Amino acid sequence: MEQARRERRSGNLPEVILWRALRTRPAGLKFRRQHPIGPYCLDFACLSARLAIEVDGEVHGCGDHPRRDALRDADLLARGIRTLRIPAREVLADPDAVVRHIVAACGRPLHQPAAGPPPRAGEV
């Protein structure tokens, strides 16, 4: 819990940029930043979609990080939470595209089509 607080206060540039977009609740989705689940602290989480969003820097491709990330993702999946890993360079290059990708992964379109007028009394 304390680690999550520290991470929320600091944060790296890609996470800060992404948080500015996600905190506006795109498609009506609520996101949490540095959310603790079990022994993990997720970069971002959409609990209603059971989705963890991890912003991965270059270090995640080095050494034993890929193996550790795979084990972590498998453990989260066993807890019912899917993991979406996004390279930090993509957040820096096109944050809007990343947000669209995240919203799609949550299973909701960013802009909902008009459904027409509401049904009249007695209609369903």
Total tally of structural domains belonging to the chain = 1
User: What pLDDT shows up at residue 61?
Assistant: 56
Tokens of 32: 């949490």
Q: Is residue 120 part of a domain?
A: no
Residues 6+ positions from 45 with CB-CB distance below 8 Å: 31, 32, 35, 37, 51, 52, 53, 81
Q: Is residue 47 part of a domain?
A: yes
User: What pLDDT shows up at residue 32?
Assistant: 96
User: What pLDDT shows up at residue 123?
Assistant: 55
Q: Is residue 121 part of a domain?
A: no
User: What pLDDT shows up at residue 66?
Assistant: 83
- Per the structure, the complete domain to which residue 14 belongs is given by 2-105
CATH of the domain at 61: 3.40.960.10
User: What pLDDT shows up at residue 124?
Assistant: 52
pTM for the whole structure = 0.76
User: What is the Cα–Cα distance from 15 to 104, expressed in whole angstroms?
Assistant: 19
pLDDT, one tens digit per residue, over 33-89 is 999 999 999 999 999 999 999 998 766 555 677 888 899 999 999 999 999 999 999
